[in-house]
């Protein structure tokens, strides 16, 4: 993911609003509130057009102009559209109203509101140590990945971790757990850690911070 700070330093975010907090009031600073910005093109009759923000190196951005058409190919998970995991255009998950019908589909599928992130919604068994999930994600929940299997992968490609867990492994809005979780801290199952919904997953929860 291209960092917002990097884009700001390169003057690539002029006239574009950065999301300062998420829907729960937690610090964000990573995501944008806009998908378009003013272009340099001027109509013959006056006025300017809007240009789609396109950051091809981002693991999250899409090049499609419309959300309902986005997500196929290398920006999605297989050939899934964005709507398959994030909800439809005017009912994107989660709706912060806990009683909203918009949340029902996600809750029925995975047990909690929000984007579909539980691998078990569609897959069975242990998916192993992989970053082949949507947007380059690893398996979430109490998996072999979280129980220590990720260490060599992290040492090989630290930036893959930083995209969601922060530049220094301090956590970010993208590494908050979507529901209460109990994770195994080592591959022998001897130690566990309990996380409440919304808590940050940071490196030093389980071991020394190697980022």
User: Is the pLDDT score of 73 beyond 70?
Assistant: no
pLDDT mean across residues, the chain = 81
| pLDDT tops 60 at residue 97 | yes
16-24: Cβ within 8 A, 24+ apart: 16/53, 22/173, 23/94, 23/96, 24/96, 24/198
Q: How far apart are CA 203 and CA 132, in angstroms?
A: 21
Give the pLDDT confidence score for residue 189 in this predicted structure: 62
* Closest among 17, 107, 32, 39 to 62, alpha carbons compared: 32
Report which DSSP code applies to 207: S
How far is CA 73 from its chain centroid?
18
Residues 1-18: tens digit of each pLDDT: 445 555 544 555 566 778
User: Could you tell me what percent of the chain has a pLDDT over 70?
Assistant: 78
**Mean pLDDT computed over 82-86:** 91
State residue 37's pLDDT score.
72
Global pTM reads 0.79
Query: Could you give phi then psi for residue 168, rounded to 5 degrees?
Result: -115, 20
Q: Which residues contact 200 (CB under 8 A, 6 or more apart)?
A: 170, 171, 172, 175, 176
Could you tell me the maximum CA-CA distance found in the chain, to the nearest angstrom? 71
Mean pLDDT of the region 180-205 = 87
pLDDT bin (cut points 50, 70, 90) of residue 63 is low
Q: Please state the rounded mean pLDDT for residues 65-70.
A: 76
Which pLDDT score is estimated for 86? Answer: 93
Q: Which residue has the higher pLDDT, 185 or 137?
A: 137
Residue 43 has pLDDT above 70, yes or no: no
């Amino acid at each position: 993911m291209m960092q917002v700070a990097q884009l700001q330093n390169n003057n690539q975010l002029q006239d574009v609003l950065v999301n300062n907090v998420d829907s729960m009031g937690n610090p964000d600073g990573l995501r944008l509130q806009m998908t378009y910005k003013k272009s340099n093109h001027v109509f013959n009759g006056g006025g300017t057009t809007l240009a789609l923000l396109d950051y091809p190196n981002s693991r999250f951005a899409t090049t499609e102009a419309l959300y309902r058409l986005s997500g196929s190919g290398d920006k999605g998970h297989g050939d899934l559209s964005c709507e398959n995991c994030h909800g439809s255009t005017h009912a994107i998950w989660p709706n912060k109203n806990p009683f909203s019908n918009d949340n029902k589909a996600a809750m029925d599928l995975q047990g909690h509101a929000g984007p579909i992130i539980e691998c078990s919604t569609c897959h069975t068994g242990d998916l192993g140590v992989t970053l082949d999930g949507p947007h380059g994600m690893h398996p979430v929940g109490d998996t072999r990945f979280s129980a220590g299997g990720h260490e060599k992968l992290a040492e090989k490609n630290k930036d893959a971790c930083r995209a969601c867990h922060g530049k220094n492994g301090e956590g970010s809005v993208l590494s908050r757990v979507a529901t209460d979780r109990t994770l195994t801290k080592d591959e022998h199952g001897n130690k566990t850690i309990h996380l409440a919904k919304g808590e940050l997953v940071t490196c030093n929860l389980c071991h020394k911070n190697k980022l």
